[in-house]
């Protein structure tokens, strides 16, 4: 009579452990599912950020080109102004020089 409760106690412990392990397995399966979703999201994020980085590099190149164009135009105008000033001075000074000569 005393052996029966003692024997029935230990199988209950083993069964409870098995049940807990089953619960942990379910939780792990759910976690793996969530991790797969996160994997997809991280992959999308990586692709989008790579595209953004490429676009930023193109933006940088284009802005450098625009700056150079503006600088060239600025220099051209400066040269034109200098040339015009020289012409004006030449027109004014040549008669004076001719008078002296």
Partner 1 sequence: MSYVPLKQPLLEDDGSFDYEETLLSERNEQAKHLAQDIYHLKGAMDDLKMMVDEQGEMLVQADNNVTTADLEIEYGVEELEKAYVYKSRSKKRIIILVVVILLILAVVIGASIKFFVKK
Catalog residues that contact partner 1 under the rule CB under 8 A. Answer: 7, 10-11, 14-15, 17-18, 21-22, 24-25, 28-29, 31-32, 35-36, 38-39, 42-43, 45-46, 49-50, 52-53, 55-57, 59-60, 62-64, 66-67, 69-71, 73-74, 77-78, 80-81, 84-85, 88
Q: How far is the CB of 73 from partner 1 (least distance, A)?
A: 5
- What are the contacts of 85-89 at 24+ separation with CB within 8 A? none
Q: Looking up tokens 């700056």, which residue turns up? A: 67
Nearer to partner 1, 3 or 97 (CB): 3
| Nearest-angstrom CA–CA distance, 84 and 80 | 6
Q: How far is the CB of 101 from partner 1 (least distance, A)?
A: 22
Residue 90 CA: distances (Å) to CA of 51, 56, 86, 97, 100: 58, 51, 6, 10, 15
Q: How far is the CB of 57 from partner 1 (least distance, A)?
A: 6
The 10 Å CB-count burial string (b at 16+, else e) for 74-84 is eeeeeeeeeee
Q: How far is the CB of 100 from partner 1 (least distance, A)?
A: 21
């Amino acid at each position: 009579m005393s052996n029966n409760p003692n024997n029935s106690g230990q199988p209950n412990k083993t069964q409870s452990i098995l049940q807990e392990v089953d619960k942990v397995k379910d939780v792990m399966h759910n976690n793996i599912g969530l991790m797969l979703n996160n994997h997809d999201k991280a992959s999308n994020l990586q692709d989008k950020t790579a595209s953004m980085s490429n676009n930023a590099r193109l933006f940088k190149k284009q802005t450098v080109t625009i700056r150079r164009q503006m600088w060239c135009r600025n220099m051209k105008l400066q040269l034109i102004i200098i040339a015009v000033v020289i012409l004006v001075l030449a027109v004014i000074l040549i008669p004076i020089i001719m008078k002296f000569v």
